[in-house]
Amino acid sequence: MSPEQIGFALLYIGVFLIIGKLIRVKVKIFQDLFLPASIIGGFIALLLGPQVLGKIVSPFVSEGHFLTDGVMTDTIIQVWSALPGLMINVVFASLFLGAAMPKLKDVWTYGGPQLAFGWAIGWGQYVIGLLVVLLILTPFFDIPAMAGALIEVAFEGGHGTAAGMASTFEELGFSEAFDLAIGLATVGVLSGVIFGIILINWAVRNNKTEVIKDVDGFTELRKSGIMEFQNREPAGKMTLRPESIEPLSFHLSIIMLAILVGWGILQGLIALESVTIAQWTGSSFMTYIPLFPIAMFGGIILQTFFNKNDKYNLVDRRMINRIQGLALDILIISAIATVSLEVIGDYLVPFLILAVAGISWNLFGFLFLAPKIIPNYWFERGIGDFGQSMGVTATGLLLMRIVDPENESPAFEAFGYKQLVYEPFLGGGLVTALSVPFIAGVGPWAGLILALCMTALGILSGIFYFGRGKHKEG
């Protein structure tokens, strides 16, 4: 594969992102579902690729015709297939760069109820997934036990985490799990928004919300995604003079350095394990751990350094957000466009069972646990965690924005504090990364017992400590 072919494949990303955006502007249902252009563009690329368009036209054209692969050539598919695993490192390395680290007291006071609720939902996804595997998927469909982690990997982690786990699935002999996880992540995003809108309508009509009292109060946000002229703000601050270094280049370099720090930590852990645990037990876990959760710690280390030594505030959070957003768009569009429809077709019934089980648990958790755990503004705050549990953080923020457009409740603040503790573990953190090799190594029953204990910890601490107001929340 030549550099020219790789470059041409990257140009295609821009084409399909623009197509996705144009479709979103013109098609109202996509606006109502708040679907990003990357998901729409990814589906268009999938339809125009070898798995759909190529198979449709193959019987009618000669062998070797350019449309036998659709408009997505084999080279483009190969390049795009590698992108999600690379871009997820950028997304996670950026999580805490440029962000102020709050006081622990504030994190506990405002983020504690959110953490207990999110902890229960996240670990509960493992409980549900492992029960489904043990009772249905393994006995009747001969699905490997590690499939019990797919709900949390795909729903909490999203497309990025699913893509980042691809090498782990492959090394453990279940490469099909990648396609199933990408499919589940797509279901999670769609169902998260659809059920979120339904829940918001229900809550407003039944006086469950404290901010929005009119059912039409949130419909104004259903727009084409074009920022009003009067509300347009700079994408980031120019913290350095361009004649010395382009600010965008500087921020990208910081992210790259964070990834390298994470890579160094991971290599050190692998080497340490090889001369300790691996020597004693003959098995190892660290070689199966993807880079992206460790890259997040690389970002935390760099940000801690900047907090102590950078008197000029050189790292601008908004600039980091733009780079992170670009990486996420590339990740989503390339992951969806290259997902294997054949694998999902082969595993259709297990796929649907996992999807229904995951959605059902998230709905149960939100409707029955959130009111008992979150002491005030339970709907405005809980809907963010529901959205995250279905379709990653962006979905949660979107739903919170709908029910609290003017930021009148403590929802955004509490959600942000909770993320500082939550993200390093679940939703793509260390627990997510370790879950698949852990289940494959020690078995699903050990994983189920651990997940049950962690879920119980979240529920009990949430209901009997945070829910009863035994901590002071202003």
pLDDT digits (tens, 9 = 90+) for 162-182: 878 888 888 888 888 888 988
**Average of pLDDT values for 299-311?**
91
Least confident of 35-49, 107-121, 223-237, 251-265: 223-237
Give 33: exposed, middle or buried? Use CB within 10 Å, 0-12, 13-18, 19+.
middle
336: tokens are 């969806």
- Please write the tens of the pLDDT for every residue from 372-416: 998 888 888 898 889 888 876 667 766 777 777 666 777 777 777
DSSP 141-190: H---GGGGGHHIIIIITHHHHHHHTHHHHHHTT-THHHHHHHHHHHHHHH
The residue type of 9 is: A
Measured torsion, CA atoms of residues 77, 78, 84, 89, in degrees rounded to the nearest 10: -150
pLDDT band, residue 248 (cuts 50/70/90): very high
One-letter amino acid identity for 450?
L
Residue 328, H or E segment = helix 317-337
Per-residue pLDDT averaged across 60-83, rounded? 81
Q: How far is CA 67 from CA 36, 56, 63, 274, in A?
A: 28, 10, 10, 49
Two tokens at 246? 């382009």
Residue 100 clears pLDDT 90, i.e. is over it = no
- Residue 22 confidence (pLDDT): 94
Percent of the chain exceeding pLDDT 70 equals: 89
Amino acid at 199: L
Is residue 92's pLDDT more than 90? no
Using CA atoms, how far apart are residues 198 and 218, in angstroms rounded to an integer?
12
Type of residue found at 10: L
Both tokens assigned to 358:
């995951």
> 458 vs 294, which has greater pLDDT?
458
- For the ranges 28-42, 323-337, 446-460, the one whose mean pLDDT is highest: 446-460
Question: Residues 196-202: what's their mean pLDDT?
Answer: 84
What is d(CA 193, CA 102) in angstroms, rounded to the nearest whole number?
30
How is 71-116 classified by DSSP, letter by letter?
A: TS-HHHHHHHHHHHHHHHHHHHHTSSTT-----HHHHHHHHHHHHH
Q: Quick one: angle between helices 104-132 and 430-442, nearest 10?
A: 30
Is residue 278's pLDDT more than 60? Answer: yes
More confident position, 288 or 24 = 24
Q: DSSP states of 272-328 as a string?
A: HHHHTHHHHHS--SGGG--SHHHHHHHHHHHHHHHHHH-TT----HHHHHHHHHHHH
CA distance 455 to 469: 20
Q: Using 50, 70 and 90 to split pLDDT, how confident is the model at 204? A: confident
The predicted pLDDT at position 355 comes to 93
**Sequence-distant (≥ 6) Cβ neighbours of residue 208 within 8 angstroms:** 202, 379
**Beta carbons of 382 and 117 less than 8 angstroms apart:** yes
> What digits encode the pLDDT tens for the residues 322-366?
998 899 889 889 888 888 888 888 889 999 999 999 999 999 999
**Cβ partners under 8 Å of residue 40, min gap 6:** 19, 20, 21, 23, 24, 30
Which residue type sits at 39?
A: I
Angle between helices 317-337 and 3-26 (to 10 degrees): 100
Residue 222 to residues 31, 33, 91, 154: CA-CA distances in angstroms? 6, 8, 26, 26
Of 450, 468, 449, nearest to 460 (Cα)?
468
In this prediction, residue 216 has a pLDDT band, given cuts at 50, 70 and 90, of low
CA angle in degrees (0–180, nearest 5) for 5-10-16: 125
| End-to-end Cα, the chain, rounded Å | 59
Which 3 state secondary structure label does DSSP give 367?
helix
CA pair distance 113, 368, nearest whole angstrom: 14
